[in-house]
Amino acid sequence: MELENLSVLEEASLLSGASEWDSRGIAKAGIPSFVMSDGPHGVRRQLGSGDHLGIGESKPATCFPTASALANSWDPDLAEEMGKALGEEARKLDVNVLLGPGLNIKRNPLCGRNFEYYSEDPILAGRMAAGLIRGIQENGVSACPKHFAVNSQELRRQASNSVIDERTMREVYLTAFEIAVREAKPWSIMTSYNQINGVYAHENHHLLQDILRDEWGFDGMVVSDWGGSNSAVDAVKAGGSLEMPSPGYTSVKEIVDAVAAGRLSKSDIDRRAAEVARIASRTRTTGVQRDALLDAASIDAHHQLARRVAESCQVLLKNDVVAGRTVLPLAPQSRVAVIGDMAKTPRFQGTGSSKVNSTREESLLDEFMHSADVTVAGYRQGYERQGDANPALIEDAVALASGDGTEVVVAVLGLDERSESEGLDREHMKLPAVQNDLMKALKAVGKPIVVVLIAGSPVELPWIDDVDALLYVGLAGQAGASASLRVLTGAVNPSGHLAESWPVSYDDCPNSQCFPVAERDAVYREGPFVGYRYYETADVPVRFPFGYGLTYSRFSYSDLHVDEQGIAFSVSNTSDVAGESVVQLYVRGPANGVLRPDRELKAFVKVALRGHESSRVRIDFDRYTFRHFDQTSQSWKVETGRWTVMVAEHCESVMLQAEHEVVGDMEPVPADPELGAYLKGRVKEAGDAELAVLFGRPVPAPKKAAVFGANDPILAWQDSPGFLARTMVRILLRHERKTREKTGSPDLNALFVLNMPPRVMCKMTRGQINADMVDAVVAIANGHACRGMGSFIAAYIRNRKANRNIAKELQHG
Ligand code: BGC
């Protein structure tokens, strides 16, 4: 690999993609082009130019449980095993960089991509991501954790500014990435679409240089999200290495011109080019055909692995005693009525760029039918999947459930394909009303009811008191159905625990009144009080707390010992059934210290124990246990004082606790009384003055832009004075709604365009459109149709000529 002899133009050409999925190579310097592909829970390798929204065809690959399900396993080693299989498949399918895992913090349960993310907690998200990354990279494939950072809503996803205080950003939103980077050393990382405090992630020096590289020691490539870069020149300066997918030569030209004009240093380009070239050498493949497919042995082995992973992800949320025994596992040979469309037509992943063309598919109904452990009394659809009212389906289901042939009802419920998608946030946290109506009718039958719930995010459960058992499956991948059956029949003891809190109703969420934000500025008003950090501090009851999950075993905990280095305690399985306990370590800071949530997760361990077996467990403290980000010195500090350490089964159930004197590097600093409502975590009561204290600066209220710019989403044109722009948006909106109603799935292309700012046109059109042409489009949107058209044509001619010249120059190198 020879970079020294490359011209500025050649180096600049390495810094943007050649096509939807390919980087540019330079043969004479021994730098091959490499392939990037989604996504976090399976390989989505498209041939040709493809699309980045999961719509087009891709090679078959194993669909593992999505991140939100995987996190419920609380098992980073399992994530590593899954990562290894992903890496193997990536290799075989000619992929060098796998675009995942996604590890954004779940700020609000309605974010459309939450199913692609792990948790509301950074320690859990970071550790799970680190496991997956290690596994992927063992195969010489680069993992690419994303979306860095503070990316929490899909509405306006490419035109949103996350306004956040530095301390919350560091402690809650960046710590997961920090753990992933420090522990697993990913070779690349993907920046997010949004701005952070006014600066795009891909050109954010503070994020990419000060924090990622200087503080965490990242030495890899920073790739933009697809169409997510803004100024090519600012990105190179700030630490963004590769723009994807395909700005053609427009960015190359901008970079070369900036060097010529002295606005960009050659050494910055050298550094970025070396980062891209290093990926090519680290992931170099030999002998893999572009159209290679998976072999039968891998397909089979990975399907089994997908099942094992799915088994660990299932969370038993309720299991009542009926007639002297718990409803689950189902009694041998019980006669089961299987009810619910999702039992027959499975749903096991979300919609969007992460969508995998799975090698196999299972349905829960088939699995029941083939089970030797239970008898199927019958199947009824129960509800229309898309939520249309159909009372006849409910009547049919009730008739089956009431019949003498049925002993237990298994109702399979869930969210449909429209509800969980990239590009679209959920509108509410409810299941379709028809499913809730079905549950009301089934309750009247009076037989035991088991609910199997398929959804990548929490839903409100108005019928929870009417059912006897609830198994939360999540989006469990292509082998999710057989995994669920094995849990229902007791072949597998459930060991999953919730990786996010389940509020009773959406209104209980700390940010329910300000999510998603329709204007540019999304203000993170709740500060650090996200998920259980809020519910526990503000004393808001939840349906199921963070970390919650039942098993068929019983565990007890004793003999907590705390020393300077960590804690030790004993855990015993007091039942006959072998099982796994997920033990969680929480800490509470000194009473006179800085503002903090009531408790915070700092470590966890999954302990497998045979019936009546005990084990002594040790957890060491680490750099994350007692630290906080000190706003004054802008550095991590530990407060000296009396801390509380808690060993818990979930965030509300503390089994053992002790006080522990920590000798830190600063005396406790009492929280500023001006923080008002924040002192008790009551973030919804906090006014602007308290918010300004939390942020250390006044925070202006979000406002609408008066004139449309290159960075405002096309959606905003619905208010444009220009007839053309207004009409185009209305047509797109109507088209999207109609497609959704007709197909049951969102129209991702239309959504992408609506949330896209015009600048993205010059990032995704292989150089056909440049910045001058974008400005012309913007003039049209602002009602200057004639002027805009004229400039567009002139810029088009200039751009074509410039592109031809660059292509010629690169060819003759
Ligand atoms: C998504 C990324 C994805 C990329 C490539 C973007 O729209 O946000 O997560 O990796 O497309 O498909």
Q: What is the CATH classification number for the domain harbouring 386?
A: 3.40.50.1700
388 in the same domain as 428: yes
- Decide whether any atom of ligand 1 lies within 6 Å of the 763 Cβ: no
> What was the pLDDT predicted at 54?
66
Burial of 542 (0-12, 13-18, 19+ CB in 10 A): buried
Query: 167-203 burial by CB neighbour count: b if 16+ within 10 A, else e?
Result: bbbbbbbbbbbbbbbbbbbbbbbbbbbbbbbebbbbb
Residues 255 and 354 reside in one and the same domain: no
Domain stops at, among 612, 635, 667 = 667
Q: Do 661 and 738 reside in the same domain of the chain?
A: no
Instruction: Say if residue 501 is in the same domain as residue 581.
Output: no
- Look at residue 99 and tell me if it is in a domain: yes
207 occurs within a structural domain: yes
- Compute the mean pLDDT over every residue in the chain, rounded to the nearest whole number: 95
Question: Strands, DSSP E only, in 475-565?
Answer: 502-503, 521-523, 542-544, 555-562
Taking only the tens place, the pLDDT of each residue in 502-529 is 999 999 999 999 999 999 999 999 999 9
Pick the last residue of a domain from 263, 282, 301.
Answer: 282
* Rounded Cα gap, residues 534 and 514, in angstroms: 15
The reply to whether ligand 1 has any atom less than 6 angstroms from the CB of 146 is: yes
CATH number of the domain enclosing 36: 3.20.20.300
Q: What is the pLDDT of residues 729-749, one digit of tens each?
A: 999 999 988 988 888 788 888
Q: Which domain holds residue 775?
A: 714-811
Residue 27 CA to ligand 1 center (angstroms) comes to 28
Residue at which a domain ends, from 667, 699, 729: 667
Taking the centre of ligand 1 as the mean of its atom positions, its distance from the CA of residue 38, in whole angstroms, is 7
- pLDDT average, residue stretch 59-84: 98
User: How big is the chain by its Cα radius of gyration, in Å?
Assistant: 27
Give the model's pLDDT for residue 708.
Answer: 84
In a domain, 290, yes or no: no
Tens of pLDDT, residue by residue over 656-676, are 999 999 999 999 999 999 999
The reply to whether 225 belongs to the active site is yes
- Amino acid 39: pLDDT: 79
Q: Quick check: CB of 103 below 6 Å from ligand 1? A: no
Q: Is the pLDDT of residue 722 over 90?
A: no
> What percent of the chain shows pLDDT beyond 70?
99
Question: Does 176 share its domain with 263?
Answer: yes
Q: How far, in Å, is the centroid of ligand 1 from the Cα of 190?
A: 9
Residue 125 shares a structural domain with residue 180: yes
Say which of 225, 373, 508, 712 is annotated catalytic: 225
274 and 205 in a common domain: yes
Separation of 292 CA from ligand 1 center, angstroms? Answer: 23
Determine which residue's CA is closest to atom 4 belonging to ligand 1. Answer: 226
Q: Is residue 339 located within the same domain as residue 482?
A: yes
Q: What is the pLDDT of residue 127?
A: 98
Query: Residue 694 domain-assigned?
Result: no
Q: Answer whether residue 704 is part of any domain.
A: no
Q: pLDDT tens across 129-187, in order?
A: 999 999 999 999 999 999 999 999 999 999 999 999 999 999 999 999 999 999 999 99
**Which pLDDT score is estimated for 601?**
98
Total number of domains constituting the chain: 4
Reported as a pLDDT band with limits 50, 70 and 90, residue 704 is confident
Per-residue model confidence as pLDDT tens digits over 366-410: 999 999 999 999 999 999 999 999 999 999 999 999 999 999 999
Q: Are strands 195-196 and 635-638 parallel, antiparallel or unpaired?
A: unpaired
Same structural domain, 14 and 163? yes
With beta carbons less than 8 A apart as the criterion, state whether 434 and 761 touch: no
Q: What is the CATH number of the domain that holds 654?
A: 2.60.40.10
Q: What is the pLDDT of residue 49?
A: 65
Top mutation candidate among 117, 193, 225 for ligand 1, by most atoms within 8 Å of CB: 225
Confirm or reject: Cβ of 38 under 6 Å from ligand 1: yes
Query: For ligand 1, is residue 11 a contact (CB within 6 Å)?
Result: no
Phi, psi of 522 (to 5 degrees): -100, 105
Contacts with 55 (C-beta within 8 Å, 6 or more apart), sequence order: 748, 749
**Dihedral (Cα; 274, 280, 284, 285), 10-degree rounding:** -170
Long-range CB pairs of 400-405, under 8 A, 24+ apart, other chains included: 400/337, 400/339, 401/337, 401/339, 401/442, 401/445, 401/447, 402/445, 402/447, 403/337, 403/377, 403/378, 405/335, 405/337, 405/377, 405/378
Q: Residue 699 falls within a domain, yes or no? A: no
Using DSSP's 3-state secondary structure scheme, residue 672 falls into coil
**Confidence (pLDDT) at 745:** 80
Q: What is the pTM of this model?
A: 0.96
- Does 37 score more than 70 pLDDT? yes
pLDDT range class, residue 104, cuts 50, 70, 90: very high
Neighbour count for residue 485 (Cβ, 10 Å): 23
In this predicted model, what pLDDT tens digit does every residue of 443-473 receive, in sequence order? 999 999 999 999 999 999 999 999 999 999 9
Contact by Cβ (8 Å): 523, 516: no
Check whether residue 239 and residue 328 sit in a common domain. no
Position 231 scores a pLDDT of 96
Residue 217 has a pLDDT of 98
- Report whether pLDDT(418) > 70: yes
Q: Which residue has the higher pLDDT, 767 or 645?
A: 645
> Quick check: CB of 225 below 6 Å from ligand 1?
yes
Compare 623 and 741 and report the one with higher pLDDT.
623
Find the range with the poorest average confidence among 207-211, 286-290, 694-698: 286-290
Closest CA to 244 of 321, 334, 144: 144
C-alpha 353 – ligand 1 centre gap (Å): 6
Query: Above 80 in pLDDT, residue 50?
Result: no
- For residue 210, is pLDDT > 80? yes
Contact 483, 471 (CB under 8 A): no
Query: Per-residue b/e over 355-370, b at no fewer than 16 CB within 10 Å?
Result: bbbbbeebbbbbbbee
In a domain, 641, yes or no: yes
Instruction: Verify that 558 and 501 share a domain, yes or no.
Output: no
Do 326 and 209 have their domain in common?
no
Could you tell me if residue 477 is inside a domain?
Answer: yes
